[in-house]
Amino acid sequence: MKRYNVGVVGALGAVGTEMMKILEQRDFPVERIKPLDLKENEGKKVSFKGREVEVKAAGEGAFRDLDIALFSAGEGASHKLAPVAVAEGCIVIDNSNAFRMAPRVPLVIPEVNPEDVLWHEGIIANPNCSTTQMLVVLKPLHDKYVIKRIVVSTYQAVSGSGLPGIAELERQLRAYLEEQELEVNVYPHQIAFNAIPHIDSFMDNGYTKEEMKMVHETHKILHNGEISISPTAVRIPVIRCHSEALNIETKKPIDAEDAKKVLSRAPGIKVLDDVSTNIYPLAAKLVGTDEVYVGRVRQDFSVKNGINIWIVADNLRKGAALNAVQIAETLIRYKKV
C-alpha cells in the first residue's frame, strides 16, 4: 500500500492532538508525520506511534515534503497558510471556517457526500462540528423521506472553543467551590452552571454566525437550498460532546419506528433508544467515541410528517479531527492524492 507524508497544522491544540491520535488509531498509511504549530512552539515534542516527534514551525517551505496537511489552526492561519501549502504541492483538509462556503472548495462529510472530493482543487473543507453530526443523521432520512424543514437546538461543549474554553470552565468550577469570584474571559457570561444561547457573534438577522453556519453548510453539503432550517446554538458546561435536539418535517410520510431502523443501518450511526430503561445518548458517556449516537426518536404529532430525534457526538472527533482523517481516507479511496 502506498504511504503518505502527513502534516498536522496546529498539532498542539485540542483538535490537532485528536488528529494525531486518530491517524495512529486508524492506522492511516503514514510514511512520515510532521506536526506543525506556531513558531514559539517549534522544538516541542509530541508522541506518534510510540516515538517522540519534534514540532516544526508552520510557514513557507514547511509543506514541500508533504502529501496531505490536516489544518486545525484557526481561520486566520488557514487563510494565510493553506494557499502556501497547495502551492508547495500539498492537499489541505481544513477544519476552520476559512473556505467552507468558497464555491470551488468541497465541503465534505464522508458518510454524506464523499464524491465531492473528486472536484477539489487543493483544498477540502471540514464542516462545522454541529453541522457534521446533524447531517450524518439526516442524510439517510433525507434519502428516504425527503426533508422539508429542520428545527435544531444545539447544546455545545466548551471544547468547541478549544483549550481556552476548557480552561475557563475548569477555572470557574474551582472558583465556585472555593467561594471566589468567577472570572469571565472566553465567553460573554460565566459558563459554569449556565447555558449561554450565544456562540460566535450575532448577525443582523438576530442569529449567530454559528447558527447560520448550520443553515448554509447544510444547503451546500446536500446540494439543496430548498430545505428550511431554524437553528439555535447554546453553549453548556460540558467539556466534550455536543448534543442536539432535532425536529424534522418530511415531504413523504415518516414513521418513528421505521426511521429508527433506517438510522440503525446507516454508516457512522449507533442507535441508543430504550426509554423503558432510560437508554439514550449522553455526552458524559460518549467521550472518545467515533459514531454519532441517536435516541429519543419519536413521532411529532403537531405536524403531518414529523419526528423528533436526540443526537450526541464527540465534537473533537467526529465533529472535527475524525471527519478530517476520513476525508483523507476518502481521497485515497478515490485515488485523488
- Which residue of the set 120, 129, 142, 241 is catalytic? 129
Tallying the residues shown for the chain, one arrives at: 337
Pairing of strands 30-37, 56-57: parallel
Task: Answer yes or no: 129 catalytic.
Answer: yes
Of the candidates 17, 4, 28, 84, the one whose C-alpha atom is nearest the C-alpha of residue 240 is 17
Q: Tell me how far apart the alpha carbons of residues 47 and 54 are, in angstroms, rounded to a whole number.
A: 9
Nearest partner of 87 among 121, 57, 119, judged by Cα: 121
Q: Are 57 and 37 in contact (CB under 8 A)?
A: yes
Grid cell of 46 as nine digits? 509530541
Compute the distance between CA of residue 257 and CA of residue 254 in angstroms, rounded to an integer.
Answer: 9
Q: Which candidate in 90, 142, 241, 242 is catalytic?
A: 242
Confirm whether 198 is a catalytic residue: no
Cell of 77: 492561519
Positions annotated as catalytic residues are 129, 242
